[in-house]
Chains A and B, each alone.
Chain A
Amino acid sequence: QQKVQQSPESLSVPEGGMASLNCTSSDRNFQYFWWYRQHSGEGPKALMSIFSDGDKKEGRFTAHLNKASLHVSLHIRDSQPSDSALYFCAASEPGANTGKLTFGHGTILRVHP
């Protein structure tokens, strides 16, 4: 069973619109969550992390974590064509020595003019 599940598989939003991506974990050991973004031909790059319940805002990006339901979301306001990419949710167990990061299958975001 996929331990980190993302939805939707793909998403198309107009330029200037709001994009909302979702992620759910089935493993209660996962306490730390990350959002990564991958542009075509590049490696994934970390967008932001969230470890505590509630919202975390960084510029146009807001992540929300609900630990009780193990649900994480990413909201991108004022979406730009440059935001078009593959977005991954990733999760890990707390503790510096585990190191293992488990990724979802990704959401393809397309921002159209």
Chain B
Amino acid sequence: DMKVTQMPRYLIKRMGENVLLECGQDMSHETMYWYRQDPGLGLQLIYISYDVDSNSEGDIPKGYRVSRKKREHFSLILDSAKTNQTSVYFCASRQANTEVFFGKGTRLTVV
């Protein structure tokens, strides 16, 4: 069963706290992504990872960093979270030019 799993699904953090969003996939896909989704803005690419320790900035990387130490896991880290980072975060994975598989998302609220 092809799946992208995100944990946690909901998270509330205070401004200035560190945030760790975790993502796993069971398809051995090389490429993984982190997107954020805000109303009316669609999906914005934060980071893309082409394989273990091979990460590239997307369109909105400021305030975020990522870690990929195993092909099946991709983490998004927010150091000192800000209120404007309140959003729904989606992890996704893909092999070559096939379809992108998305997780169910993590709704992060920074208060």
Give the Cβ gap from A92 to chain B, nearest Cβ, in Å.
7
Surface stretch bound by A, among B67-75, B76-84, B93-101: B93-101
Contacts of B44 in A (CB 8 A): 103
- What would 5 more interface pairs be, CB under 8 Å, given A97-B50, A99-B48, A101-B45? A34-B100, A43-B103, A96-B97, A99-B94, A100-B48
Q: How far is the CB of B64 from chain A (nearest CB, A)?
A: 16
Tell whether A46 is near chain B: CB-to-CB under 8 Å.
yes
Counted as pairs of residues, one from A and one from B, with CB atoms less than 8 Å apart, the total is 54
B interface majority secondary structure: strand
In the assembly, what is the distance between CA of A90 and CA of B94, in Å? 14
How distant is the Cα of A100 from the Cα of B61 in the complex, in angstroms? 14
- Enumerate chain B interface residues (CB-CB to A < 8 A): 4, 31, 33, 35, 40-45, 48, 50, 58, 90, 92, 94, 96-97, 99-105
Interface residues, chain A, with chain B CB atoms under 8 Å away? 32, 34, 36, 41-46, 49, 88, 90, 92, 94-97, 99-106
A88: which of B43, B96, B97 is its contact (CB, 8 Å)? B43
Contacts known (A97-B50, A99-B48); A105 close to B42, Cβ less than 8 A: yes
